[in-house]
Chain A
Amino acid sequence: MVYQLTFHREIERLKNRFMVLGSLVEDRVRKACAAILTRDPDLLSEIIGSDWEIDEMEIEIEEECLKILALHQPVARDLRLLIAIIKINNELERIADIAVNIAKRVQTISKDSDLEFTIDYHPMSARVMQMLKMGLDSLVTEDAALARRIFIEDEVVDQLRNQAYKGVLRALNSEVGHAACLVNLYLLARHLERIGDRATNIAEEVIYLVEGEIVRGDTE
């Protein structure tokens, strides 16, 4: 039998709490992606108004990590787990901020009801949500191979952003008088792509946790 120290129990509690944060952020991104399609004003207000929950939980988790580091000086896998949690915690908080930014862009776009041009963001949203899910799943299952698949997905998401850019560039010429709306439409692509980038950062931390090697997705 393996004895469990208080410290190990604290790490277990931290992991569980952290997974709750992961789920909340996943939920925010899912709602933001749904709002791109539906432009539901209530949903948009909900996303923008609930960000404080994520912020508070992020601070709580960071404080807990710092406490464990200071009091228990963890090493090896425990140390790598805490470092991964501290860094992914930050990524999750930023992803939730991006979900809020998406909601604000959609609010702006909704004001311009005359614009006929649109971009189907469904494929890009689906990929980005999948990347975030893969990132959190790879953390839970400590699966470096799954984490590495995120790097490949990220390239596809970058291509989709480029397509959106070109589409908006063309529309700026054809849809005169809608520049503000079109810029916000492009920024949605930019925000989604940034969520993808942050999912890639999560993957890097998972690989460090599992393999003990620091990797960067763009060097793969």
Chain B
Amino acid sequence: MDAAQAVLKISDMPFPAVDEQQGTVEGAGPAPRADNRDTVGEPFVEDPRMTCRDVNVYYGEKHAIRDVSIDIAHNEVLAMIGPSGCGKSTFLRCLNRMNDTVDTCRVSGRILLDGLDIYGRLVDVVPLRARVGMVFQKPNPFPKSIYDNIAYGPRIHGLAESRSELDGIVENSLKKAGLWQEVHDRLDQPGTGLSGGQQQRLCIARAIAVQPEVILMDEPCSALDPIATATVEDLIAELREQYTIVIVTHNMQQAARVSRRTAYFHLGALIEVGPTDRIFTNPRHRLTEDYITGRFG
């Protein structure tokens, strides 16, 4: 047989087509069917900071989150990914009861923070939101000075007894957010005058100032340029030493870079949770694989 014939022999054999019904590739391992909505992977951890069980969220008639159960560990960065409308931001907002502000929203199931049911009758959401802070997609500094942006929370929560103590909190928070060097000589200037990346780090410093245990981040870099994004991602890696961070992102490379565990949501269901390196090299669920490889249907 000559080379040309040999070429035909091999290249005539097609690579196997993905079986749409079974959700597997012929010869592949036991991937769950594409229509299976049970969570696969490792959603639970030992000694969790937050425990979520059978969480369902409704906006009026719309069933936005379906039976989500997951633990969030101490000092971990958990990334939540999924297509638009999959419920990842809705779920994030359940973790500090931000959904309470939506009239039609109803949450069922249990969400515990250090064993405390955050939806308990006696829970005051103001201190809860200090313990579970939040950073939003678009930097939203108060129209106040840089100093007052940070000092606002500690003042209303009574965390400082003197001006010098408050000064210490402001300095410490800005240092933790990697912003101190850039702003220490202009603390009296408006926070809104900073660049986008600096504003976002100011918002992170503001969340840190009230001594949270968990920081929720809803697409914190989507309004930032690549350099500001890299700075914030670097900051997330440092903050992990002291805080638990849950980040929602549309940027899969960002999820891969910053998080230790990744959770994939699809149509309100938690499809797969696992170590980030495994999710991005060898996901177990067909839907996760399709989403992260761009084979969206």
Contact = CB atoms under 8 A, between A and B. Distances in A.
A137 B283 CA distance: 25
A131 to B, nearest CB: 15
B283 A76 contact: yes
Given A3-B296, A5-B294, A15-B15, A23 B26 contact: no
B6 A1 contact: no
A191 B15 CA distance: 31
Given A2-B296, A5-B294, A77-B293, A140 B13 contact: yes
A27 B2 contact: yes
B29 A211 contact: yes
A210 B28 contact: yes
Interface in B55-102: none
Interface in A1-50: 1-3, 5, 7-8, 15-16, 19-20, 22-24, 26-27, 30
A137 B29 CA distance: 18
B1 A30 contact: yes
Interface in B238-273: 252-253, 256
Contacts of B280: 75-76, 79
A3 B293 CA distance: 11
B127 to A, nearest CB: 40
B45 interface: no
A64 interface: no
B294 A8 contact: yes
A76 B10 contact: no
A5 B27 CA distance: 24
A158 interface: no
**Interface magnitude class on chain A:** 35 or more
Contact of B26 (A1, A137, A142): A142
A140 B15 contact: yes
B282 A212 contact: yes
A76 B292 contact: yes
B11 A20 contact: yes
Contacts of B296: 2-3
Given A24-B6, A27-B3, A142 B252 contact: no
B16 A142 contact: yes
A80 B281 CA distance: 7
Contacts of B27: 141-145, 210
A73 B281 CA distance: 12
B10 A140 contact: yes
Interface in B1-25: 1-3, 6-11, 13, 15-16, 18, 25
Contacts of A136: 10
Contact of B281 (A1, A3, A19, A212): A212
B10 A78 contact: no
A3 B9 CA distance: 29
Contacts of B163: none
B253 A73 contact: yes
A76 B6 contact: no
27 contacts: A3-B294, A3-B295, A8-B294, A8-B295, A20-B7, A22-B10, A23-B7, A24-B3, A24-B7, A26-B10, A27-B6, A74-B293, A75-B256, A75-B280, A76-B280, A76-B289, A76-B293, A77-B25, A136-B10, A140-B13, A140-B15, A141-B16, A142-B28, A210-B28, A210-B29, A211-B29, A212-B282
Pick the 10 closest A-B CB pairs, nearest first. A212-B282, A23-B6, A23-B10, A27-B6, A23-B7, A19-B11, A75-B280, A143-B27, A2-B297, A27-B3
Given A2-B295, A141-B27, 17 more contacts: A1-B297, A3-B296, A5-B294, A20-B10, A24-B3, A24-B6, A26-B10, A27-B1, A27-B2, A75-B293, A76-B288, A76-B293, A80-B282, A141-B15, A142-B16, A145-B27, A210-B27
